[in-house]
Amino acid sequence: MTSLAGSSGIPAWALAGGLALLAVLLTGPVSALLARAHWPSRSPRAALVLWQAVCLGAGLSLVGAGVVIAVEPLGHNLATALITAGRSLLLDGTWPAAVQGWRLAAGIASAVIAAVLFSVLVRSAVLTVRRRRAHRQVLDLLTRPSVRAAPAGTGPAATTHERDAVLAGAVDVSILDDDRALAYTVPGWHSRIVLTAGLVTLLRADELTGVIEHERAHLRSRHDLVALPFQAWAVTLGRIPGVRAARAAAAGLIEMLADDAAVTRMASAPGGPDRRRILAGALARVALAGGAEVEPDAEPAGSPVAADHGPGPAGPSGVAGRVQRLLQERPPARSTAVLTYAVALVLVATPTVLLVIGWR
């Protein structure tokens, strides 16, 4: 393969360098800016897609840069170069002579990065499924579907009765006998929604509906699958700042999506309190009841995003941010969303198209 074809195009070194630079920009400043932005809470779905694009774009660029360096002498774009390499390996049974030394090193580095990203994802998926199954097995021995009567409430008889009616209608909900106020889902094929007895007695019937609809939204939209790659990479590659920011931001945005879905599905009595206020109240009460452990303020509050916000009220994706967001009720930012989807597309398309067009 000699350089007859490529009279136009980008020099290979510029292409590889550009891709590497893109990867660094995406994991560094771009992630930091995105984590600090305030618009995502108004367009959580678009923001989530953008985060996915940032991560995918960064991975593609980084791996692509190494591959370009490795196979550059074999062709003028990724396809022709890889076909040449494959032919040499399979038909002639020889290693392509041009891929030696530092080219070989770059290729191996790329392959290792790709393999690590992929295997971390698979490992995390397997562990997650196993952990969920173990949890579910014990859970199912301790609970039965909530057709059974709810635990005796402390409130007036009427509210207890209303709560019982809510729970009797929710056959997909299990009640766990614990005083702490907790609600959670066990996602997966055999999913479960779990409320503790403490949470049931803490909340009013309408608030309980809000919590249940929030959890149903998680399960229905398989939010666990959206969160999985972010979590998997954050656990292993947590040292890279962008990766941690992406995980924290994605987790917060997913909660906002479930909040929004819950609001649209909750039943509300005409003339009664607004549905957004009901859900916000439920969130605040569960958080204040301390069902979730409170972190000492010396520590950077679990999510680096929240910590990044400095002395402000709280990170937009924390509980307080979610409550505030529900109470404010700002219309979804449609033009921002459209622009965000476009940027996301460009981020993924750029490295892909560059590799297809090729180099000089």
Partner 1 sequence: MAGRGELERAVIDVLWDAGAPMTARAVADALPGRELAVTTVLTVLSRLEGKGVVRRIRDGRAHLYAAVASREEHTAALMHQVLDTATDRDAALARFVGSVSAPDLEALRRALDGR
Q: Nearer to partner 1 by C-beta: 104 or 139?
A: 139
Residue selected from 80, 84, 128, 159 as contacting partner 1 according to rule CB under 8 A: 128
**Rounded CA separation 52/253 (Å):** 12
Q: Does 325 bind partner 1 (CB under 8 A)?
A: no
The Cβ of residue 323 has, within 10 Å, a number of other Cβ atoms equal to 21
106 three-state secondary structure: helix
Among 227, 256, 266, 305, which residue sits at the site for partner 1 (rule: CB under 8 A)? 227
Residues 263-282 that bind partner 1 (CB under 8 A): 277, 280-281
Of 2, 297, 330, 331, the one binding partner 1 by CB under 8 A? 297
**Beta strands at 183-186 and 173-176: parallel, antiparallel or unpaired:** unpaired
Give me the 305-324 binding string for partner 1, x by CB under 8 A, dash otherwise: -x------xx---xxx--xx
Interface with partner 1, residue 285, by CB under 8 A: yes
**CB-CB neighbours of 244 under 10 Å:** 20
Binders in 52-81 for partner 1, by CB under 8 A: none
H/E run at residue 256: helix 241-265
Q: How far apart are CA 111 and CA 177, in angstroms?
A: 50
Q: How far is the CB of 276 from partner 1 (least distance, A)?
A: 12
CA distances from 197 to 107, 137, 206 (A): 56, 19, 16
Number of shown-chain residues binding partner 1 (CB under 8 A): 68
CB 177 to partner 1: min, Å: 6
Distance CA 70, CA 92 (A): 19
**Tokens 């679990």 identify what position?**
302
> Closest distance between partner 1 and the C-beta of residue 22, in Å?
28
CB of 70 to partner 1, least distance (A): 32
Report yes or no: 184 and 194 within 8 Å, Cβ to Cβ: yes
* Distance, CA of 40 to CA of 36 (rounded, Å): 9
**36 contacts partner 1 (rule: CB under 8 A):** no
Nearest to 76 by CA among 348, 355, 350: 355
> Do residues 289 and 283 make contact, with C-beta atoms less than 8 angstroms apart?
no
Closer to partner 1 at the Cβ: 41 or 196? 196
Least distance in angstroms from the C-beta of 291 to partner 1: 7
Tokens of 153: 């409430």
3 state SS of 254:
helix
CB of 137 to partner 1, least distance (A): 5
Residue closer to partner 1 by CB (options 65, 217) is: 217
100 vs 12: CA distance, rounded Å? 16
Interaction residues for partner 1, span 161-180 (CB under 8 A):
176-178, 180
Judged by DSSP in three states, 176 sits in strand
Which residue is listed with tokens 């967001």? 325
Instruction: Find the part of the chain contacting partner 1 (CB under 8 A) among 27-35, 101-109, 150-158, 209-217.
Output: 209-217
List the one residue out of 266, 281, 271 whose CA is nearest residue 322.
281
Q: Would you say 70 or 262 has its CB closer to partner 1?
A: 262
Please report, as residue ranges, which positions from 143 to 162 form the binding site for partner 1 (by CB under 8 A): 144
Residues near partner 1, by CB under 8 A: 124, 127-128, 131-132, 134-135, 137-142, 144, 176-178, 180, 182-187, 196, 211, 214-215, 218, 223-224, 227-228, 231-232, 234-235, 238, 251, 255, 277, 280-281, 283-288, 290-297, 301-302, 306, 313-314, 318-320, 323-324, 327
